[in-house]
Amino acid sequence: MKSFLYMIKFFFHRKEELYFSLKKILGFYPHHIEYYKLAFIHKSVSERDKHGRLINNERLEYLGDAIIEAIVSDILYKKYTNAYEGFLTTTRSKLVQRSSLNKLSTKLGLDKLVQYIRYSDTHHSHIGGNAFEALMGAIYLDQGYERSMWFFKRLMDQGYIRPDVAAKKEQNFKSVLLEWCQKQKMEMRFDTTEIQDTSNPSEPCFFTLALVEDKVIGRGKGFSKKESQQRAANKSMELLRHAPELRKALERRRLTRLAISDTLHFFPIFEKYSQEMDE
Whether residue 132 has pLDDT greater than 60: yes
Report, as residue numbers or ranges, the catalytic residues.
65, 133
What proportion of the chain, given as a percentage, has pLDDT over 90?
Answer: 40
Residue 18's nearest CA partner among 39, 1, 4, 3 is 39
Highest mean pLDDT pick, 107-111, 114-118, 268-272: 107-111
- Pairing, β 204-212 against β 188-196: antiparallel
91 versus 44: the higher-pLDDT residue is: 91
Whether residue 64 has pLDDT greater than 60: yes
Instruction: Give the pLDDT score at 121.
Output: 42
Domains of the chain and any CATH numbers: 2-171 (1.10.1520.10), 175-278 (3.30.160.20)
Helix (H, G, I), strand (E, B) or coil at 219: strand
Confidence class of residue 238 from pLDDT cuts 50, 70 and 90?
confident
Q: Are 42 and 115 in contact (CB under 8 A)?
A: yes
Whether residue 72 has pLDDT greater than 90: yes
Q: Are 127 and 106 in contact (CB under 8 A)?
A: no
How distant, in Å, are the alpha carbons of 76, 77, 81, 89, 90 from that of 84? Answer: 11, 10, 9, 9, 10
Whether residue 126 has pLDDT greater than 70: yes
CA distance 62 to 35: 14
* Residue 129: Cβ-neighbour burial (10 angstroms; 0-12, 13-18, 19+): buried
Angle at Cα 105 formed by Cα 101 and Cα 107, nearest 5°? 120
- Average pLDDT score over residue span 260-277: 63
- Average pLDDT score over residue span 69-74: 96
- Average pLDDT score over residue span 131-154: 96
Instruction: Give the pLDDT score at 71.
Output: 97
* Residue 96: Cβ-neighbour burial (10 angstroms; 0-12, 13-18, 19+): buried
CA distance 279 to 263: 24
Confidence class of residue 3 from pLDDT cuts 50, 70 and 90?
very low
Whether residue 192 has pLDDT greater than 70: yes
What proportion of the chain, given as a percentage, has pLDDT over 70?
Answer: 82
- Average pLDDT score over residue span 199-215: 84
Q: Are 18 and 135 in contact (CB under 8 A)?
A: no
Kindly report, residue by residue over 161-177, the tens digit of the pLDDT: 998 888 877 678 888 89
